[in-house]
């Protein structure tokens, strides 16, 4: 009798534990995930931490670092096989270590996981792939954009329907005439933040970034034309534009001193609609980013490190963090661009962001990443900065860039990304 009671008692104790093990198959596992310390992505993760731990029994550690440190940590962690992080936050900047990432296809297929991602963002480039396998999933999306003053355009009888940079520059000419005698510049851009000008170049440039042999390259004539066109924008910018930082350029627009601004729209969206910070509330809209190039895309992906001891638990975290509801919440509360179409089709949000959403989605659909590692980007933007301040000609800039690029190797993952995005020389 005693034995039977004892058996029943043990059974009673074990049943919930068994059920728990079924509900929480990874309970007790530890996952270390990293994010950029921006007060957005990292805060979004911290807000989910307790709920995730409770729902899965997985112990989550969030490591937030400034951008440069994050990239350094990710590259050294993966290149040396240290395995400090299970879930890695990154994009093409860490393309040199994409080969060390855990493929995600099996997880996605098994769990039939997905969502209403913006079509362009699911392609190779915005989403990270290596050797044909998906290794990263975007959790944010921001495309370089162009915003304009609706009141000024209306007053001048100009429509913001440009397709190319030639069209846009022609509009700037019209604006210049219309704004003559005022202290409003037709355009403003943060030329002083030298790394930013590459985004305009990429919008103007319509050719390869990697040659047929897999080396960093640029088409000579296209590059020269784009550099010169980029510099011509200075004619329509306020005096001293070559020294403007991002915040300073934003301030020029927000104080009503520019009719258009080329920028990361996410950096200025909230402030532009805040009456305490902006003189252009309800008088601005996002426009299509001109071509024939592409809007430069910032799409943070979550990867699972190939050195993770808990890839299953790491995948649980990715599924928990990247959901349509969470993306919408992060967009509304933290200003993080959502990779999901459902955010931009939300009736409530459409009403609030009617001046912003249509062009933003169009830009995101066309947006591309670049196959540049840090060293390649550094070389490019520094030489371009010399050109912008008048210390070098377009020819010298291109020659110096190509000379420095000749020393660099394009990582395999980024060659594949360039090929998939049509950025590779044919032949």
Partner 1 sequence: MILFVVPAFIIVVAVQFYPLAYSAFLSVTDWVLTESQTPKGFVGLENFAKELSDETFRRSVRNSVYITGGALALQMTLGICLAYLTMGSSWRMRAIRTLLILPMVIAPVAAGTLWRILLNSRAGLVNHVLSVIGIKGPEWLAHPDWAIVSVILLDTWQWTPFVLLVVGAAIASIPDDLLEVAAIDGASRWQTFLYVELPLLMPLLLLTLVFRMLESLLSLDSIYSLTFGGPGYSTYTLTYYIYTLGLRSFNFGAAAASSWIFMVFASLSIGLVFWYQRRDW
371 binds partner 1 (CB under 8 A): no
Buried residues in 333-349 as b, exposed as e (16+ CB within 10 A): ebebbbbbbbbbebeeb
Residue from 123, 329, 366, 382 in contact with partner 1 (CB under 8 A): 382
- Kindly indicate which of the ranges 69-77, 144-152, 205-213, 289-297 contains the residues binding partner 1, using the contact rule CB under 8 A: 69-77
397-426 positions binding partner 1, by CB under 8 A: 400, 404, 409, 411
312 vs 412 by CB, closer to partner 1 = 412
State both tokens at 159: 């429509």
| 28 part of the interface to partner 1, by CB under 8 A | no
CB of 80 vs partner 1, minimal distance in Å: 6
Residues 224-253 that bind partner 1 (CB under 8 A): 240, 242-245, 248, 251
C-alpha angle with apex 354: 351 to 357, nearest 5 degrees?
Answer: 120
- Work out how close the CB of 23 gets to partner 1 at its nearest, in angstroms, rounded to a whole number: 40
The answer to the question of residue 389 lying near partner 1 (CB under 8 A) is yes
- The DSSP H or E segment spanning 145 is strand 142-149
Q: Which two tokens stand for residue 165?
A: 């940079």
Number of H helices, E strands in the chain: 19, 11
**Of 125, 192, 214, 291, which one interacts with partner 1 (CB under 8 A)?**
192
Site for partner 1 in 292-351 (CB under 8 A): none
> Rounded to an integer, what distance in angstroms lies between the CA atom of residue 42 and that of residue 305?
18
Pairing between β-strand 284-287 and β-strand 129-130 as defined by DSSP bridges: unpaired
**Tokens found for residue 166:** 């030639």
Range in contact with partner 1 (rule: CB under 8 A) among 186-194, 205-213, 275-283, 319-327: 186-194
Of 28, 80, 155, 173, the residue at the interface with partner 1 (CB under 8 A) is 80
Q: How far apart are the first and last CA of the chain?
A: 84
Q: According to the binding rule CB under 8 A, does residue 81 interact with partner 1?
A: yes
Task: Give me the phi and psi of 147, to 5 degrees please.
Answer: -115, 155
Which class for 269: exposed (0-12), middle (13-18), buried (19 or more C-beta within 10 A)?
buried
List of residues contacting partner 1 (CB under 8 A): 68, 72, 75-76, 79-81, 96-97, 191-192, 194-195, 240, 242-245, 248, 251, 373-375, 378, 382-383, 385-386, 388-389, 391-392, 400, 404, 409, 411
């Amino acid at each position: 009798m005693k034995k039977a009671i004892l058996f029943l008692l043990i059974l009673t104790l074990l049943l919930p534990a068994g059920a728990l093990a079924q509900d929480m198959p990874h309970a007790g596992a530890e996952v270390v995930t990293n994010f950029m310390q921006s007060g957005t992505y990292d805060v979004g993760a911290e807000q989910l931490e307790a709920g995730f731990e409770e729902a899965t029994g997985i112990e989550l550690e969030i490591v937030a670092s400034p951008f440069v440190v994050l990239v350094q940590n990710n590259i050294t962690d993966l290149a040396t096989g240290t395995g400090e992080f299970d879930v890695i936050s990154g994009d093409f900047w860490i393309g040199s270590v994409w080969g060390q990432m855990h493929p995600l296809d099996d997880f996605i297929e098994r769990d039939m996981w997905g969502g209403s991602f913006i079509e362009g963002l699911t392609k190779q480039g915005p989403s990270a792939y290596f050797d044909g396998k998906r290794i990263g999933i975007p959790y944010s999306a921001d495309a370089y954009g162009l915003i304009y003053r609706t009141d000024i355009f209306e007053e001048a009888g100009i429509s913001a329907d440009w397709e190319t940079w030639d069209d846009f520059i022609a509009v700037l000419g019209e604006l210049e005439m219309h704004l003559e005698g005022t202290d409003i510049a037709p355009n403003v851009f943060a030329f002083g933040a030298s790394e930013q000008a590459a985004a305009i170049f990429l919008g103007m440039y319509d050719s390869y970034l990697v040659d047929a042999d897999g080396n960093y390259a640029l088409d000579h004539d296209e590059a020269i034309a784009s550099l010169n066109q980029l510099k011509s924008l200075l004619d329509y910018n306020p005096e001293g534009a070559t020294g403007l930082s991002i915040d300073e350029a934003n301030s020029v627009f927000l104080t009503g001193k520019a009719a258009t601004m080329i920028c990361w729209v996410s950096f200025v969206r909230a402030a532009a609609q805040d009456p305490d910070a902006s003189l252009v509330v309800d008088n601005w809209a996002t426009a299509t980013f001109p071509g024939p190039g592409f809007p430069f895309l910032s799409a943070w992906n979550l990867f699972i490190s190939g050195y993770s001891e808990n890839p299953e638990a790491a995948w649980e975290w990715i599924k928990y963090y990247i959901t349509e509801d969470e993306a919408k919440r992060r967009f509304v509360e933290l200003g993080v661009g959502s990779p999901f179409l459902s955010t931009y089709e939300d009736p409530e949000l459409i009403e609030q962001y009617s001046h912003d959403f249509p062009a933003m989605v169009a830009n995101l659909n066309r947006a591309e990443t670049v196959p540049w590692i840090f060293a390649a980007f550094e070389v490019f933007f520094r030489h371009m900065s010399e050109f912008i301040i008048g210390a070098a000609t377009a020819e010298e800039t291109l020659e110096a860039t190509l000379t420095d690029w000749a020393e660099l190797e394009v990582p395999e993952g980024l060659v594949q990304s360039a090929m998939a995005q049509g950025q590779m020389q044919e032949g």
